[in-house]
Amino acid sequence: MNTVIPPDRLIVLIPAHNEAATVGAIVAQIRALWGCPVVVIDDCSTDRTAQVARTAGATVLPLTLQLGAWGAIQTGLRYALRHHYRIAITLDADGQHEPASIGALLQPLATDQADVVIGAFPERASRARRLAWSYFRLLTGIRLNDITSGLRAYNQAAMTVLASREATLLDYQDVGVLLILRRKGLQIIEAPVSMQPRAMGASKVFRSWWSVGKYMLQTSLLCLARIGHNPLPPDD
Protein backbone atom coordinates (compact mmCIF):
# COMPACT_ATOMS: atom_id res chain seq x y z
CA MET A 1 0.00 0.00 0.00
CA ASN A 2 0.99 3.62 -0.49
CA THR A 3 2.48 5.06 2.72
CA VAL A 4 4.04 8.13 1.06
CA ILE A 5 1.08 10.05 -0.39
CA PRO A 6 -2.45 9.87 1.07
CA PRO A 7 -4.62 7.93 -1.42
CA ASP A 8 -7.10 10.80 -1.66
CA ARG A 9 -4.30 13.10 -2.95
CA LEU A 10 -2.98 10.68 -5.58
CA ILE A 11 -4.65 9.87 -8.90
CA VAL A 12 -3.68 7.51 -11.72
CA LEU A 13 -4.52 8.54 -15.29
CA ILE A 14 -4.71 5.98 -18.09
CA PRO A 15 -5.29 7.05 -21.70
CA ALA A 16 -6.94 4.22 -23.61
CA HIS A 17 -8.06 3.48 -27.13
CA ASN A 18 -9.47 -0.01 -27.75
CA GLU A 19 -7.75 -1.57 -24.73
CA ALA A 20 -10.62 -3.71 -23.43
CA ALA A 21 -8.39 -6.79 -23.27
CA THR A 22 -5.95 -5.24 -20.79
CA VAL A 23 -7.38 -2.17 -19.07
CA GLY A 24 -9.53 -4.03 -16.52
CA ALA A 25 -6.66 -5.96 -14.99
CA ILE A 26 -4.50 -2.83 -14.82
CA VAL A 27 -7.19 -0.81 -13.05
CA ALA A 28 -7.86 -3.63 -10.59
CA GLN A 29 -4.15 -3.97 -9.75
CA ILE A 30 -3.76 -0.25 -9.14
CA ARG A 31 -6.81 -0.14 -6.90
CA ALA A 32 -5.58 -3.15 -4.93
CA LEU A 33 -1.99 -1.93 -4.54
CA TRP A 34 -2.46 1.80 -4.00
CA GLY A 35 -6.09 2.36 -3.02
CA CYS A 36 -6.27 5.57 -5.05
CA PRO A 37 -8.70 6.76 -7.72
CA VAL A 38 -8.04 5.62 -11.27
CA VAL A 39 -9.31 7.62 -14.24
CA VAL A 40 -9.41 6.06 -17.69
CA ILE A 41 -9.65 8.59 -20.50
CA ASP A 42 -11.44 6.72 -23.27
CA ASP A 43 -10.18 8.09 -26.59
CA CYS A 44 -13.20 7.12 -28.73
CA SER A 45 -12.76 3.37 -28.33
CA THR A 46 -14.94 1.14 -30.49
CA ASP A 47 -14.64 -1.86 -28.17
CA ARG A 48 -15.72 -2.32 -24.52
CA THR A 49 -12.82 -0.33 -23.00
CA ALA A 50 -15.11 2.03 -21.08
CA GLN A 51 -17.36 -0.71 -19.70
CA VAL A 52 -14.45 -2.91 -18.65
CA ALA A 53 -12.69 0.00 -16.94
CA ARG A 54 -15.81 1.01 -15.00
CA THR A 55 -16.42 -2.56 -13.87
CA ALA A 56 -12.86 -2.72 -12.55
CA GLY A 57 -13.41 0.42 -10.48
CA ALA A 58 -12.21 3.30 -12.67
CA THR A 59 -13.85 6.61 -13.38
CA VAL A 60 -14.14 6.90 -17.17
CA LEU A 61 -13.86 10.19 -19.05
CA PRO A 62 -15.23 9.55 -22.56
CA LEU A 63 -13.87 11.83 -25.28
CA THR A 64 -16.23 12.87 -28.06
CA LEU A 65 -13.35 13.43 -30.49
CA GLN A 66 -10.27 11.24 -30.78
CA LEU A 67 -7.43 13.35 -29.39
CA GLY A 68 -4.60 10.81 -29.28
CA ALA A 69 -2.61 9.82 -26.21
CA TRP A 70 -1.38 13.30 -25.30
CA GLY A 71 -4.80 14.92 -25.69
CA ALA A 72 -6.25 12.20 -23.48
CA ILE A 73 -3.54 12.70 -20.86
CA GLN A 74 -4.06 16.46 -20.86
CA THR A 75 -7.78 15.88 -20.29
CA GLY A 76 -6.86 13.72 -17.30
CA LEU A 77 -4.44 16.30 -15.90
CA ARG A 78 -7.12 19.00 -16.06
CA TYR A 79 -9.50 16.67 -14.24
CA ALA A 80 -6.84 16.05 -11.56
CA LEU A 81 -6.31 19.78 -11.04
CA ARG A 82 -10.04 20.48 -10.81
CA HIS A 83 -10.31 17.86 -8.09
CA HIS A 84 -7.21 19.11 -6.22
CA TYR A 85 -5.06 16.01 -6.47
CA ARG A 86 -1.48 16.50 -5.33
CA ILE A 87 0.18 13.97 -7.65
CA ALA A 88 -0.91 12.44 -10.94
CA ILE A 89 0.59 9.24 -12.32
CA THR A 90 0.24 8.47 -16.03
CA LEU A 91 0.66 4.99 -17.40
CA ASP A 92 -0.28 3.07 -20.52
CA ALA A 93 -3.25 0.75 -20.87
CA ASP A 94 -1.42 -1.91 -22.90
CA GLY A 95 0.15 -3.80 -19.98
CA GLN A 96 3.73 -2.52 -20.38
CA HIS A 97 3.81 -0.57 -17.13
CA GLU A 98 3.66 -2.48 -13.87
CA PRO A 99 1.40 -0.88 -11.23
CA ALA A 100 3.92 -1.89 -8.56
CA SER A 101 6.42 0.52 -10.17
CA ILE A 102 4.34 3.50 -9.09
CA GLY A 103 6.08 3.40 -5.73
CA ALA A 104 9.43 4.24 -7.33
CA LEU A 105 7.93 7.48 -8.66
CA LEU A 106 6.26 8.70 -5.50
CA GLN A 107 9.13 9.14 -3.05
CA PRO A 108 11.00 11.90 -4.96
CA LEU A 109 7.80 13.93 -5.29
CA ALA A 110 6.75 13.41 -1.70
CA THR A 111 10.13 14.69 -0.49
CA ASP A 112 10.27 17.59 -2.99
CA GLN A 113 13.32 16.21 -4.79
CA ALA A 114 11.61 16.69 -8.16
CA ASP A 115 8.50 18.00 -9.88
CA VAL A 116 8.39 15.20 -12.46
CA VAL A 117 9.60 11.61 -12.18
CA ILE A 118 9.87 9.41 -15.27
CA GLY A 119 9.83 5.64 -14.95
CA ALA A 120 12.84 4.67 -17.05
CA PHE A 121 13.52 1.32 -18.68
CA PRO A 122 15.91 2.05 -21.56
CA GLU A 123 16.58 -1.66 -22.09
CA ARG A 124 13.22 -1.92 -23.86
CA ALA A 125 14.41 0.25 -26.74
CA SER A 126 14.55 -1.05 -30.29
CA ARG A 127 17.29 0.15 -32.63
CA ALA A 128 14.91 2.78 -34.06
CA ARG A 129 13.96 4.01 -30.60
CA ARG A 130 17.60 4.24 -29.48
CA LEU A 131 18.42 6.24 -32.61
CA ALA A 132 15.57 8.67 -31.92
CA TRP A 133 16.55 9.07 -28.27
CA SER A 134 20.20 9.81 -29.13
CA TYR A 135 19.21 12.33 -31.78
CA PHE A 136 16.82 14.24 -29.52
CA ARG A 137 19.25 14.26 -26.61
CA LEU A 138 21.78 15.87 -28.95
CA LEU A 139 19.25 18.33 -30.36
CA THR A 140 17.70 19.45 -27.08
CA GLY A 141 20.37 18.90 -24.45
CA ILE A 142 17.91 16.82 -22.41
CA ARG A 143 19.99 14.36 -20.40
CA LEU A 144 17.50 11.61 -19.75
CA ASN A 145 17.77 7.95 -20.65
CA ASP A 146 14.12 7.19 -21.51
CA ILE A 147 12.48 10.27 -22.99
CA THR A 148 9.43 8.50 -24.42
CA SER A 149 8.31 6.57 -21.34
CA GLY A 150 4.61 7.07 -20.62
CA LEU A 151 5.05 6.06 -16.97
CA ARG A 152 5.37 9.42 -15.25
CA ALA A 153 4.50 11.23 -12.04
CA TYR A 154 3.66 14.94 -11.94
CA ASN A 155 3.19 17.25 -9.00
CA GLN A 156 0.69 20.12 -9.05
CA ALA A 157 3.17 22.62 -10.48
CA ALA A 158 3.92 20.29 -13.40
CA MET A 159 0.25 19.50 -13.92
CA THR A 160 -0.56 23.21 -14.11
CA VAL A 161 2.07 23.74 -16.81
CA LEU A 162 0.91 20.75 -18.85
CA ALA A 163 -2.78 21.64 -18.59
CA SER A 164 -2.11 25.00 -20.26
CA ARG A 165 -3.07 26.07 -23.78
CA GLU A 166 0.61 26.08 -24.70
CA ALA A 167 0.88 22.35 -24.01
CA THR A 168 -2.22 21.66 -26.11
CA LEU A 169 -0.05 22.25 -29.19
CA LEU A 170 1.86 19.04 -28.52
CA ASP A 171 1.24 15.62 -30.07
CA TYR A 172 3.21 13.33 -27.77
CA GLN A 173 4.06 13.00 -24.08
CA ASP A 174 7.81 13.14 -24.68
CA VAL A 175 10.27 15.76 -25.95
CA GLY A 176 7.85 18.69 -26.25
CA VAL A 177 6.51 18.06 -22.77
CA LEU A 178 10.03 17.92 -21.37
CA LEU A 179 11.03 21.16 -23.11
CA ILE A 180 8.06 23.06 -21.70
CA LEU A 181 8.68 21.71 -18.20
CA ARG A 182 12.37 22.57 -18.41
CA ARG A 183 11.67 26.12 -19.58
CA LYS A 184 9.40 26.61 -16.57
CA GLY A 185 12.29 25.62 -14.31
CA LEU A 186 10.77 22.37 -13.09
CA GLN A 187 13.01 19.56 -11.90
CA ILE A 188 12.78 16.32 -13.92
CA ILE A 189 14.43 13.09 -12.82
CA GLU A 190 14.21 9.41 -13.73
CA ALA A 191 13.58 6.37 -11.56
CA PRO A 192 14.54 2.91 -12.82
CA VAL A 193 11.58 0.57 -13.27
CA SER A 194 10.88 -2.70 -15.03
CA MET A 195 8.43 -3.02 -17.90
CA GLN A 196 6.68 -5.87 -19.65
CA PRO A 197 6.24 -6.50 -23.38
CA ARG A 198 2.99 -5.14 -24.77
CA ALA A 199 0.15 -7.56 -24.23
CA MET A 200 -1.28 -6.61 -27.63
CA GLY A 201 -0.46 -4.32 -30.55
CA ALA A 202 2.65 -2.30 -31.29
CA SER A 203 3.97 1.21 -30.69
CA LYS A 204 2.24 3.70 -32.96
CA VAL A 205 5.49 5.66 -33.23
CA PHE A 206 8.14 2.94 -33.46
CA ARG A 207 6.26 0.26 -35.41
CA SER A 208 8.09 1.02 -38.70
CA TRP A 209 10.93 3.13 -40.05
CA TRP A 210 8.35 5.26 -41.88
CA SER A 211 6.49 6.09 -38.66
CA VAL A 212 9.81 6.74 -36.90
CA GLY A 213 10.85 9.15 -39.67
CA LYS A 214 7.55 11.02 -39.48
CA TYR A 215 7.80 11.27 -35.71
CA MET A 216 11.40 12.51 -35.83
CA LEU A 217 10.55 15.15 -38.44
CA GLN A 218 7.58 16.46 -36.45
CA THR A 219 9.50 16.51 -33.20
CA SER A 220 12.57 18.08 -34.80
CA LEU A 221 10.43 20.95 -36.09
CA LEU A 222 8.98 21.31 -32.62
CA CYS A 223 12.45 21.53 -31.10
CA LEU A 224 13.73 23.95 -33.71
CA ALA A 225 10.71 26.18 -33.17
CA ARG A 226 11.79 26.21 -29.50
CA ILE A 227 8.35 25.38 -28.22
CA GLY A 228 7.98 26.80 -24.74
CA HIS A 229 10.47 29.63 -25.35
CA ASN A 230 7.77 31.88 -26.83
CA PRO A 231 4.69 30.95 -24.82
CA LEU A 232 1.14 31.97 -25.56
CA PRO A 233 -0.39 34.73 -23.45
CA PRO A 234 -1.50 33.56 -19.98
CA ASP A 235 -4.84 31.80 -19.74
CA ASP A 236 -7.65 34.07 -18.57
Highest averaged pLDDT of the listed ranges 29-38, 192-201, 208-217: 29-38
Reported as a single tens digit per residue, the pLDDT across 199-231 is 555 555 555 656 666 666 766 766 666 544 444
The mean pLDDT of 178-186, rounded to a whole number, is 92
Q: Residue 140 above 90 pLDDT?
A: no
- pLDDT range class, residue 169, cuts 50, 70, 90: confident
Q: Residue 44 above 60 pLDDT?
A: yes
Task: Quote the pLDDT of residue 135.
Answer: 77
Measured CA to CA, the distance from residue 15 to residue 19 in angstroms comes to 9
Reported as a single tens digit per residue, the pLDDT across 111-131 is 999 999 999 987 666 676 677
Better pLDDT: 166 or 84: 84
Better pLDDT: 11 or 7: 11
CATH T-level assignment (fold) for domain 7-224: Spore Coat Polysaccharide Biosynthesis Protein SpsA; Chain A (3.90.550)
3-state secondary structure the chain: CCCCCCHHHEEEEEEECCCHHHHHHHHHHHHHHHCCCEEEEECCCCCCHHHHHHHHCCEEEECCCCCHHHHHHHHHHHHHHHCCCCEEEECCCCCCECHHHHHHHHHHHHCCCCCEEEEECHHHCCHHHHHHHHHHHHHHCCCCCCCCCCCEEEEHHHHHHHCCHHHHCCCCCCHHHHHHHHHCCCCEEEEECCECCCCCCCCCCCCCHHHHHHHHHHHHHHHHCCCCCCCCCCCC
Task: Quote the pLDDT of residue 2.
Answer: 55
